[in-house]
């Protein structure tokens, strides 16, 4: 008898267990699946940025799917724009024509975003930029579909000019790639430097994939500036810094947000990178309002590459997009409308408020310096404390 009781008890436990798991399965099925897009450079020279962004977006999706209160089950469709405008337009079109995709976050490369915004507008697909910083992406059009969580290069260069002139540097030579990104940085940096009383002694347009900069740098050497600026992305920055050394140019090397990646140190080795200055919107992940949470979850998710500089923005953009779906349903028009009214929306990068062009109004910019193979916030660095010295102004 006793034996029998135990047997029936086991049967009860078994059947309860089975029905519970069945129920859970039914519950999961009851949630409609919503597809959301991610576009960024997943291969090519700046792929580290793209992979960091994709992982961060993936993390936002995973965390929301794990939340029992979410109304939908989310799936990420990640596409590679290779940081090339022509490829970007192709994948953007692919995503925009897929009616199952209700919204996307996209683009690290400004030149690509400039090419694709028309596509999103034409197909009415809401797109939030997670990395590209060219002002014209939001300010150059009136498309309600386009929004951006990160700041623009206007804020970035204003800060860059004030920090560098504040340190006593007076003469600058700018090498910029001739994409919209490099040209934009050149324009704004020149403007703010001139306003700050410094002078730009030479500006050189170069192609984005140029290998040899010795001709430009030879001219730079003759101009003997305090600071050599490279306005472009990491691969070019690595080459310019390397070739400055080969030509024996003694000057501070300053980059733009495009070179702030761990790949900069991989390509260059710690010694040459030392003392490189750069500027980036927002603050380091650990100093952001939700940074500790983000980094802990990112670590726990076990991605094989770091979130890089724009990972937190990609996370915030994806999280915002999911909030939009939760609030107004998986419908492109409704999401666009929702985005138009985003104000003081909580995110790990701080509150998001879109202006009438869909631009987040954050003006927080942080200065970084390369110290011992890492990007260190300028104020916390040994260069700011005086323990180490940048190349002195001439």
Partner 1 sequence: MDFGLIAQYLANGILLGTMYALVAVGFTLFFGVLDVIKFSHGDVLMLGTFIGFTAWLGLEAVGVTNPWLQLAGVLLCSLAGTALIGAAIANWLILPLKRAPQLNTLLITLMLGTAIREAVRLFYPNGSNPKAFPALLPDASVEIGSFALRADSVILVVSGLALIGALNLVINRTRLGLAIRAVAQDEETARTMGINYTLVVLATFAIGSGVAAFAGIMNGLYYNEINFGMGLILGLIGFSAAIVGGLGNLYGAILGGFLFAGLQVVGSALLPFASAYKDVFAFAVVIALMAWKPTGLIPERSSDRV
Sites of contact with partner 1 (CB under 8 A): 43-45, 47-48, 178, 204-207, 209-212, 214-216, 218-219, 221-222, 235, 238-239, 242-243, 246-248, 263, 266-269
| C-alpha span between 261 and 233 (Å, rounded) | 9
Least distance CB 116 / partner 1 (angstroms): 21
Surface-to-core class of residue 69, CB atoms within 10 Å of its CB (0-12 exposed, 13-18 middle, 19+ buried):
exposed
Please say which residue, 248 or 341, places its beta carbon nearer to partner 1: 248
Least distance CB 226 / partner 1 (angstroms): 16
Q: What angle do CA 195, 200, 206 make, to 5 degrees?
A: 130
Least distance CB 45 / partner 1 (angstroms): 6
Least distance CB 147 / partner 1 (angstroms): 30
Q: b/e string for 276-307 if b means 16 or more Cβ within 10 A?
A: bbbbbbbbbbeebebbeebbebbeeeebeebb
Please say which residue, 44 or 307, places its beta carbon nearer to partner 1: 44
From the list 314, 240, 234, the residue with the least C-alpha distance to 281 is: 314
Please say which residue, 174 or 252, places its beta carbon nearer to partner 1: 174
Q: What angle do CA 17, 19, 22 make, to 5 degrees?
A: 110
Q: b/e string for 10-36 if b means 16 or more Cβ within 10 A?
A: eeeeeeeeeeeeeeeeeeeeeeeebbb
| C-alpha span between 2 and 195 (Å, rounded) | 92
Please say which residue, 200 or 348, places its beta carbon nearer to partner 1: 200
Q: Are 240 and 175 in contact (CB under 8 A)?
A: yes
Least distance CB 370 / partner 1 (angstroms): 15
Least distance CB 237 / partner 1 (angstroms): 11
Please say which residue, 215 or 363, places its beta carbon nearer to partner 1: 215
Please say which residue, 205 or 351, places its beta carbon nearer to partner 1: 205
Please say which residue, 178 or 191, places its beta carbon nearer to partner 1: 178
Least distance CB 243 / partner 1 (angstroms): 7
Helix (H) or strand (E) holding 114: helix 110-123
Q: How far from 296 is each of 119, 164, 262, 285, CA to CA, in Å? A: 36, 34, 19, 11
Distance from the Cα of residue 346 to its chain's centroid: 18
């Amino acid at each position: 008898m006793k034996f029998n009781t135990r047997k029936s008890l086991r049967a009860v436990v078994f059947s309860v267990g089975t029905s519970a798991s069945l129920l859970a399965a039914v519950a999961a099925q009851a949630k409609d699946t919503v597809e959301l897009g991610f576009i960024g450079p997943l291969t090519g020279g700046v792929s580290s940025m793209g992979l960091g962004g994709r992982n961060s977006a993936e993390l936002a999706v995973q965390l929301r799917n794990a939340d029992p209160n979410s109304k939908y089950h989310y799936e990420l469709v990640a596409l590679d724009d290779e940081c090339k405008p022509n490829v970007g337009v192709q994948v953007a079109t692919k995503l925009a024509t897929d009616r199952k995709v209700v919204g996307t976050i996209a683009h690290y490369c400004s030149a690509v975003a400039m090419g694709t915004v028309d596509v999103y507008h034409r197909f009415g697909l809401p797109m939030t930029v997670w990395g590209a910083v060219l002002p014209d992406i939001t300010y150059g059009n009136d498309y309600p579909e386009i929004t951006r969580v990160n700041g623009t290069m206007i804020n970035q260069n204003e800060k860059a000019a004030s920090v560098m002139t504040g340190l006593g540097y007076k003469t600058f030579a700018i090498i910029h790639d001739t994409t919209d990104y490099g040209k934009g940085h050149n324009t704004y940096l020149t403007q703010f430097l001139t306003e700050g009383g410094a002078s730009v002694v030479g500006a050189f347009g170069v192609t984005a994939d140029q290998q040899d900069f010795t001709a430009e740098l030879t001219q730079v050497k003759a101009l003997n500036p305090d600071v050599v600026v490279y306005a472009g992305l990491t691969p070019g920055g690595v080459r310019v810094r390397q070739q400055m050394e080969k030509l024996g140019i003694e000057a501070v090397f300053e980059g733009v947000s495009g070179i702030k990646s761990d790949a900069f140190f991989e390509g260059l080795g710690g010694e040459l990178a030392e003392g490189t200055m750069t500027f980036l919107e927002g603050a380091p992940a650990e100093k952001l309002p939700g940074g500790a949470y983000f980094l802990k979850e990112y670590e726990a998710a076990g991605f094989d590459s770091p979130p890089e500089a724009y990972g937190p923005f990609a996370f915030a953009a994806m999280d915002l997009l999911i909030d939009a779906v939760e609030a107004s349903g998986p419908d492109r028009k409704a999401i666009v409308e929702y985005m138009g009214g985003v104000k003081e929306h909580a995110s790990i990068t701080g509150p998001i408020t879109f202006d009438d062009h869909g631009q987040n109004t954050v003006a927080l910019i942080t200065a970084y310096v390369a110290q011992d193979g890492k990007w260190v916030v300028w104020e916390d660095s040994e260069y700011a404390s005086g323990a180490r010295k940048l190349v002195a102004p001439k």
